[in-house]
Amino acid sequence: MKRNGISLARQYALLLAVFFVVFELLMGVVVVSMLMLPMARRAAGDLAGLMVLSAQTWAELPPHTRPAFEVELARNHLLALRADMPPAVQDPLHGPYLYFLEEALAEKAGSRLHLTAEVVGDQTWYWVSLPSGGGTISVGLPHDRIGTQPLNTMLISLAGGLVMALLAAVWLARLAVGPLARLERAAARVGRGEVPELLPEAGPRELATLAQRFNAMARQVRDLLAARTTLLAGVSHDLRTPLARMRVALALLEKKPGPKLFLRLEADIEEMDRLIGNVLDLARGLASGTLEDVDVRGLLLELAGSDGRVAVSSPELRVKAPPLGLRRAIGNLLDNARRYGGEAPIELVAEAWEGEIRIGVLDRGPGIPEEQLDAVFEPFHRLDAARNPAIGGAGLGLAIVRQLAQANHWRVELRRRDGGGLEAWLHLPPANASQSGEIR
């Protein structure tokens, strides 16, 4: 697909550069109008006063002291005196400060005066005729004495400001868009079916939160891909045993048909159908159903049935939960206890505990080693004791319980029971509880 338009980073850089330049122009106008111009007018007024005073002082001095006064004036104030005016020359660099100086001189002399430029060597001098005693005298100053270059200053400041604005804009744009670019590349990897790398959860709050959400999604994708591989490998492995038995039974049917072989085939087909059904339930994620008011004690009594090994201990508890999902989760835990607990008694317990409702299945079987309490929730993970064909089991019961717990925001945990056996607890959050009573 063809991509149109410019990148987000370039858009941000251009916008920031425009804003910086506009801001710099506004600040320049404010500084010039409110700071530089008043200072220039005041400096021009001071210089005009010094020039007028110098012309008047020169006229009042005795003739023999005037050369010394001129030397002192040139040395300390960079001003020169002469009797005649140079010919008028148009000054192309007649800047704003010289106009301010002309206005100040006109105000102090009482008549409009104009500065005349004269080039002496490589330097420009500005002269003006001022009243001195009964006549006039020319007072001049070199261009270096002014020292200001407003045009060059403006051009250099604009150029420097523009370069700095562009650099700052590019840096800020990359700083803001860089995490989004990494997110775009990671999302593209997800779209190609690859396992994405986790993003750094740093930077501004919004970007850090976005990275956290993406990392959570990436972990889910990684877990889903691992689960898919495990499901495919487990199904292919566990289907081989009934398929092998069916192949043997079909071979025997050709030689000596009998009802036992048909029963064996039917049992193998049911085992395969049960395995495939469990795998489909696990692959669909067992999404949470509609919440209903469930009688916990009644549900436990129903699941226990007529099995004399199972004892129910529960108060009158009611919870808001999907009935089928809750039944399936507790039923799978109970099936595991019946399958691996031998002939020892099993307890079905429900109680209000630390602000939540928990339902437990407690057995006195061989239990599970501490290091495998988390691993048994993985699909097709079975302990060595569970691999006996007489016991059966596909290794999906606890994986389905965990999927149901995740879909309904429950919490499931296994732990070794004091005195031997296993405790399996399903924790329901307080929001699921609607009523509780004392244990009877």
CB 334 within 8 A of CB 360: no
| pLDDT computed for residue 420 by the predictor | 87
| Residue 295 pLDDT class (50, 70, 90 cuts) | very high
φ, ψ dihedrals at 284, nearest 5°: -75, -10
**Whole-Å CA distances, 43 to 80, 100, 124, 125:** 18, 9, 20, 18
Task: State which of 70-79, 107-116, 273-282 shows the largest mean pLDDT.
Answer: 70-79
Q: How many CB atoms lie within 10 A of CB 271?
A: 17
Q: Could you give the 3-state DSSP secondary structure of residue 138?
A: strand
pLDDT per residue as tens digits for the range 2-50: 455 566 667 767 777 777 778 877 877 787 778 777 888 888 888 888 8
| pLDDT computed for residue 437 by the predictor | 42
Does the structure show a pLDDT above 90 at 300?
A: yes
Which of 127, 138, 124, 48 is closest to 93 using CA atoms? 124
pLDDT per residue as tens digits for the range 355-385: 889 999 999 988 888 888 887 877 666 665 4
pLDDT per residue as tens digits for the range 118-129: 887 788 888 888
Q: Which CATH number fits domain 201-284: 3.30.70, 2.50.20, 1.10.287, 2.40.128?
A: 1.10.287
pLDDT per residue as tens digits for the range 398-432: 877 887 888 788 999 999 998 889 999 999 987 66
Does the structure show a pLDDT above 50 at 1?
A: no
Greater confidence, 440 or 32? 32
- For the chain, give the percent of residues with pLDDT over 70: 80
**Domain 287-435 adopts which CATH fold?**
Heat Shock Protein 90 (3.30.565)
| pLDDT computed for residue 431 by the predictor | 60
Residues constituting the chain: 440
Kindly list the domain boundaries of the chain, sorted by start residue: 8-152, 201-284, 287-435
Greater confidence, 283 or 247? 247
| pLDDT computed for residue 354 by the predictor | 81
CB 373 within 8 A of CB 414: yes
- CA gap 325, 411 in Å, rounded: 13
- The CATH code of the domain at 8-152 is 3.30.450.300
| pLDDT computed for residue 213 by the predictor | 83
pLDDT per residue as tens digits for the range 142-186: 877 876 666 566 677 777 777 877 777 777 777 777 777 777 778
Q: Where do the H-state alpha helices sit in 192-344?
A: 205-255, 259-284, 296-304, 323-340
pLDDT per residue as tens digits for the range 340-355: 887 889 999 999 888 8
CB 129 within 8 A of CB 137: yes
φ, ψ dihedrals at 280, nearest 5°: -65, -40
CB 246 within 8 A of CB 268: yes
